[in-house]
């Protein structure tokens, strides 16, 4: 880590002088290379570095908090006194904690040192070649509306006065392209992306296929008549949809009566085809980590197991309220953030049915390949949703004509019970909230509104 441990010692010594009970330093950095191209030239190139340090201290049973972006020039007494002042204005009576550390932490492969050896000129050329290949793919491809490559290296550390001293480093490279296709006055858009722990592992072919082919097949799509019918949702699209509801599993939301899952532990909330995991040790998962934001060791856990709700997600405070052990899901958006609760890598366990087998029993239905308005069209309290979408008509077990300008509506909790089949094609999405995965799923009935 770049941060000097001597400065942490200075802060902790200052805390002791001012009567602080327990203390913690959380340090975080991130470096991002970002590249965009347009018409065969570099449109944007930037190298940004950011990071900082936060300090938490318990004084008279209350948690004081402060942070600084300038971790190299810290006045220890001033930082401690600011945290103490912040603690004095807190009115909450919740018990607060600085964690002493877990007995064991898994070794998680979150960093590839080879990634730092890649020449930025090769990354620029990759994006130039990607743009050229997309524009040459088909005459109906008119332009790229946006594109970007981001190469990120991040690190974080937690050190506290109870002896905890842990750190980790991670990296990823993401490239995406959004394309516009047109034919006979009909315009469609598509997006393709790929993500890896090393720039050289990115697949231009995958990005091109994902962005262009679906957009082309949607040309000429028309709305259909309204109906109640079986629906199959594409794997990464359902992952994006499911991610909008993962806050319902937060114990903090449950304790504040903001989740309809309250009181339903160990009861059936979904069909038996549904098993959902939060796995912070998922290989190459963007949310993978050995420890949470409070320094608690992480582990894989089932949120739903064959339809039964098994656990809520906890940090130390919520676990203490419920008299349970924390699930190690404390989260901070950045070093500036306060402690909350979040999953790491959530995914629906794949089943054994192929995509074609999901379609086979459907006489008349819809295959959804895109959902729009996830933030505006979803009520996470009631579970109700109404979302614009597009996809394809399913007729006698086969994919038929494309359809657009339609809306799918229903209720999330009813949908969970209506999931009568889960495919074998697990895929993860970077869209939505967190890193979430799902196979394609079949729902027995949803309302499709068209003409």
Give the model confidence (pLDDT) of 405-438 as tens digits.
Answer: 999 999 999 999 999 999 999 999 988 888 999 9
SS3 string of 120-132?
HHHHHHHHHHHHH
Mean pLDDT of 17-40: 96
Mean pLDDT of 348-356: 97
∠ CA 230-234-238, nearest 5°, is 90
Residue 281 near residue 297 (C-beta atoms within 8 A): no
pLDDT of residue 4: 73
Nearest CA among 181, 243, 173 for reference residue 211: 181
Q: What is the band of 322 on the pLDDT scale with cuts at 50, 70, 90?
A: very high
Mean pLDDT of 151-162: 96
Residue 220 near residue 283 (C-beta atoms within 8 A): no
Residue indicated by tokens 């962005």: 211
Residue 280 near residue 434 (C-beta atoms within 8 A): no
Dist. CA 11–CA 305, nearest whole Å? 45
What domains does the chain contain, in order, with CATH numbers?
A: 113-152+168-216 (3.30.2290.10), 221-451 (no CATH)
Nearest CA among 405, 403, 404, 407 for reference residue 394: 403
The CA–CA distances, whole Å, from 118 to 36, 106, 114, 171 equal 17, 28, 7, 13
- In three-state secondary structure terms, 4 is coil
* Side-by-side strand order, sheet with 186-196: 62-68, 41-59, 22-38, 141-160, 165-183, 186-196
Does the predicted TM-score (pTM) go above 0.85? yes
DSSP 8-state symbol, 65: E
Dist. CA 182–CA 327, nearest whole Å? 49
Question: Residue 220 above 70 pLDDT?
Answer: yes
pLDDT of residue 1: 43
């Amino acid at each position: 880590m770049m941060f000097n441990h001597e400065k942490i010692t200075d802060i902790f010594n200052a805390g002791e002088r001012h009567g602080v009970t327990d203390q913690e330093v959380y340090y975080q950095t991130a470096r991002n290379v970002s590249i965009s191209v347009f018409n065969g030239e570099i449109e944007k190139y930037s190298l940004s570095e950011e990071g900082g340090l936060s300090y938490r201290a318990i004084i008279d049973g209350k948690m004081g908090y402060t942070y600084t972006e300038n971790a190299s020039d810290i006045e220890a007494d001033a930082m401690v006194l600011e945290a103490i002042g912040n603690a004095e204005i807190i009115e909450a009576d919740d018990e607060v904690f600085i964690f002493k550390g877990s007995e064991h932490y898994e070794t998680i492969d979150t960093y590839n040192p080879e990634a730092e050896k890649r020449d930025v000129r090769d990354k620029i050329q990759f994006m130039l070649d990607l743009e050229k290949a997309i524009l040459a793919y088909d005459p109906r491809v008119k332009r790229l509306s946006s594109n970007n490559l981001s190469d990120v290296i991040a690190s974080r550390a937690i050190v506290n006065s109870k002896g905890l001293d842990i750190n980790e480093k991670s990296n990823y490279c993401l490239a995406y392209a959004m394309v516009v296709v047109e034919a006979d006055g009909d315009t469609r858009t598509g997006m393709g992306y790929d993500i890896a722990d090393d720039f050289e592992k990115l697949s231009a072919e995958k990005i091109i296929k994902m962005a262009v082919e679906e957009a082309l097949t949607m040309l000429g799509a028309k709305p259909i008549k309204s109906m109640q019918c079986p629906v199959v949702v594409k794997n990464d699209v359902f992952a994006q949809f499911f991610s909008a509801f993962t806050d319902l599993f937060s114990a903090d939301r449950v304790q504040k009566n903001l989740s309809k899952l309250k009181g339903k532990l160990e009861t059936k909330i979904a069909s038996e085809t549904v098993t959902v995991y939060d796995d912070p040790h998922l290989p190459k998962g963007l949310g993978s980590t050995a420890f949470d934001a409070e320094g608690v060791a992480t582990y894989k856990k089932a949120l739903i197991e064959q339809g039964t709700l098994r656990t809520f997600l906890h940090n130390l405070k919520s676990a203490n309220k419920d008299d349970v052990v924390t699930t190690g899901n404390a989260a901070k958006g950045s070093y500036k953030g306060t402690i909350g609760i979040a999953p790491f890598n959530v995914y629906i366990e794949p089943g054994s049915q192929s995509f074609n087998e999901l379609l086979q029993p459907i006489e008349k239905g819809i295959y959804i390949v895109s959902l729009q308005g996830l933030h505006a069209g979803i009520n996470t309290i009631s579970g109700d949703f109404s979302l614009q979408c597009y996809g394809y008509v399913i007729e006698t077990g086969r994919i038929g004509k494309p359809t657009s300008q339609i809306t799918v509506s229903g209720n999330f909790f009813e949908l969970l019970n209506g999931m009568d089949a889960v495919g074998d094609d697990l895929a993860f999405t970077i869209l939505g909230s967190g890193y979430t995965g799902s196979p394609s799923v079949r729902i027995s009935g949803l309302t499709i509104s068209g003409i």
